[in-house]
A and B are shown apart, each in its own frame.
Chain A
């Protein structure tokens, strides 16, 4: 295993060096929340002018507001997941003709040719959902070429999640607050007291580490020292302990079976009773993969648009004749649990939930999915 290190003072220099070749997205703390933003050289210059405090944002667990990037990297996942970077909320996927038989041709919306992207700071709870989407969109009989193209043209630099918050529950689903392999991350980054530890996982990640300046030297990066690797391990232990304190009671070992066997509607009714049916929980969910295709006339052509959909919408499963297998909300409420914790798990041996906690964060009815799962 190879580890590299970027000193705090050189981090902006390294980020700046990436901008010449890549579109770089990085989380930034704004109004106490993290958001992925497109990094610009103007932003980096402004950041340099108000130099960040070098004190650790982790050890004292006080956010370092002097540097919104460093601050965001140490915080939990951004408000928006990685999903939208690859599986767009709205995208034209097909174009066609209307009527004219003399010039019958379907137009392919362009695929490919996009600028290479780097996304920095994705937490493990956002990486695992990418594996869900890979199963659905890339590893079945049919490949979504739009999704595939974006994934191929993106380098993901994940980040440890050193300070889990009360909404976090990745550990309940067997997920660590940091990635251990390159299944969905090319390089992992850990924010340390004096800098940033990098662990490349993939060839794409290693190539990024090996980028050189004109002088032939690596830009801002040097091999890591043992004490730096040790600091990461201590930090990780602490994060795991924090998660254990937040979620002390493990879930039942066979969640799929527990979901399947819960046939008592009163149970589901009780947990759904404060739901106002805004469906925000599914819109923010990083694993939800459902989509809707709809066509629009645009004479002389039509366009087919793919948009995010969610199984909580009343007409979601309705068929042409009007039959609706899940006309009642309670059936749709249950379906979410059947999908994420039973059907997907039985197909692929992992849950379609990463414990990111977004669903409970956005819920107006204060529905906490952990309470439901632990009551099963």
Chain B
């Protein structure tokens, strides 16, 4: 009988330091796991615990699965102590993927904050592989230049046709020549056709709240704003109850919900 609480083993092939607090873990699950962009997995650090993460790698690369993770709590601290060659566990994928069919031939306006760019990278890579988008905008804010994830990738993506990238940092330093300020400072001009665009947002709750306000004000429709909800997704199965937000189980109905779905919920980002 299939046991949904049971993870499968995955070996850590490599660990990339992104920032002082964020690393990308390249995992090889046994057997492979296929997922769609936006879905998440439960990652087991053996003997320590389990936590939900959305892969940051392309859903079309099946052999390995990458996750960009910030050290914030017990499980991630345990994970950061592991080395290449060590084994972890994976369950999933869970939740609903981004509805890529609804993004076809549209301008996709991606807004990320901090480690929130991780799941958006998976979406970005899926969109680029499928080549069915009109244009992709990436708007990304980090605390300091040191805290920017995927520095080299962002510089590379910027040069690709149909990709428009803007970055900002809350606090600059001597080397930083770009914008300074929270992510909304690079949202003052949103050069899209709102009738034919979607916005996809992932970041800390407070950033999501203000970005959503800005996107609505700019002209995005409620149904076209896709938000990654950060909730306590413990079981991933739509059972344990912890990730409830309004009428939804974030793990089952999300983790990405549209503003239209959550706008009537009291403090949805809290």
Contact = CB atoms under 8 A, between A and B. Distances in A.
- A and B interact physically: yes
Nearest to A316: B242
Contacts, number: 146
Contacts of B76: 320
A141 B252 contact: yes
Nearest to B4: A142
Given A99-B87, A293-B234, A295-B50, A311 B4 contact: no
B49 A294 contact: yes
B9 A339 contact: no
Contacts of B132: none
A223 interface: no
A93 B6 CA distance: 7
Contacts of A96: 6-7, 9, 44, 46, 89
Interface stretch (A234-242, A301-309, A355-363): A301-309
B241 A145 contact: no
B237 interface: yes
A306 B252 contact: no
A353 B244 CA distance: 18
Contact of B237 (A100, A104, A108, A141): A141
A325 B229 CA distance: 12
B75 interface: yes
Interface of B: 1-9, 11, 30, 44, 46-51, 72-76, 85-87, 89, 204-205, 230-232, 234-235, 237-247, 252, 267, 270
Contacts of B87: 97, 99-101, 104
B85 A292 contact: no
B232 A318 contact: yes
Given A94-B3, A293-B5, A323-B230, A137 B239 contact: yes
Say what secondary structure dominates the interface of chain B: loop
11 contacts: A93-B3, A96-B89, A97-B9, A98-B46, A142-B4, A142-B237, A290-B241, A293-B235, A320-B75, A325-B231, A342-B247
A319 interface: yes
B73 A99 contact: no
A144 B3 CA distance: 7
A106 B9 contact: yes
Contact of A291 (B8, B231, B239, B270): B239
Given A108-B3, A142-B4, A292-B240, A323 B247 contact: no
A52 interface: no
Given A106-B9, A309-B242, A323 B270 contact: yes
A319 B240 contact: no
A346 B248 CA distance: 11
A167 to B, nearest CB: 26
A89 to B, nearest CB: 14
Contacts of A144: 4, 239
B239 A142 contact: yes
A231 interface: no
A298 B237 CA distance: 25
Contacts of A295: 44, 46-50
Interface in A293-350: 293-299, 302, 304, 306, 309, 311, 316-323, 325, 335, 339, 342-343, 346-347
Given A94-B7, A97-B46, A99-B46, A325 B245 contact: yes
A111 B247 contact: no
B270 A325 contact: yes
A319 B3 CA distance: 25
Contacts of A108: 3, 6
Contact of B234 (A112, A142, A292): A292
A283 B192 CA distance: 52
Contact of A304 (B1, B5, B85, B237): B5
A73 B270 CA distance: 48
A105 interface: yes
B82 to A, nearest CB: 9
Contacts of B44: 96, 295, 304
A320 B5 contact: no
B242 A317 contact: yes
Nearest to B42: A293
Contacts of B74: 320
Given A99-B86, A295-B44, A319 B9 contact: no
B5 A94 contact: yes
A343 B239 CA distance: 14
B204 to A, nearest CB: 8
Contact of A101 (B8, B11, B242): B11
Contacts of B242: 290, 292, 309, 316-317
Contacts of A105: 9
Contacts of A60: none
